[in-house]
Amino acid sequence: LKRVIEMDPEFLNTNGEHEHDTSVSSVALTEESTPLDLAAIEDWIGGMLKTQGADIYRMKGVLHIAHAEQRFVYHAVHMIFNGDFTEPWEEDEPRESKLVFIGKNLDAAELKARFEACLATPANLEKKLQALRFQVGDRVMCHLAGDPDADANGYVKGTITQLMWRSEDMDPGMVAPYQITMDSGDIISAPADSDDLVKRAPEEGDAAAKRQRQQPA
């Protein structure tokens, strides 16, 4: 944050940006300790730009993202968003997040609540776990078009082996909803909990026969 402000002293300054329009307001949010969940913050900001983009004149911020040694700097004007990981945090530099919103019809309380829902806290992680469609041990089919074992629709069978999985070779901040061990023994990740990527596998053998016997005539 210090480095960004050194390069642009007015980056997080809201004074004067709406002094000629009393219908426009600004909201600043700050978190000094807990990092943010990258997927959650992207979902929130992306959804906001789609639904409220016309009323949001500008958003800007420097974010401390969980599982990332670099700061995430972003800037948005209406529905146009630009953001990326930049320089690493300094060893003795406070890792904090600050977001600024400038626009019409801003609800400060709602923005604060949605921001807090993006913090990488144990409680928020538990909510994400509870929202997942599959559990460890579930049989699934992953969309891997071009895989030699894929069916006619491009799906390959595997088993969920870990939830909210991260490996060291993943991009900064990324945590996959699922680690999946394919029937071939390969281990992959599902980047999102979507039917387009991973869906429940049909029951096989004895389990399918047992379910059919239990169905009423």
Which tokens is 102 given?
């400038």
Residue 48 · residue 136 · CB < 8 Å? no
* Closest by CA position to 29, among listed 104, 118, 93, 126: 118
Split the chain (217 residues) into runs of 10 and give each run's mean pLDDT.
45 51 84 96 91 90 96 90 92 93 93 97 96 97 91 95 95 97 95 94 65 54
* Closest by CA position to 106, among listed 38, 35, 18: 18
Q: Tens digits of per-residue pLDDT, 146-200? A: 899 899 999 999 999 999 999 989 999 999 999 999 999 999 999 999 999 999 9
Q: What are phi and psi of 176, to 5 degrees?
A: -85, 140
Hey, is 66 helix, strand or coil?
coil
Q: Using a cut of 0.85, tell me whether the model's pTM lies above it.
A: no
Distances (CA, A) of 118 to 19, 35, 65, 114, 122: 31, 9, 10, 7, 11
Cα angle 135, 174, 201 (rounded to 5 degrees) comes to 30
Q: How far apart are CA 75 and CA 58, in angstroms?
A: 7
Helix locations, the chain, DSSP H:
2-7, 38-52, 108-116, 122-131, 205-214
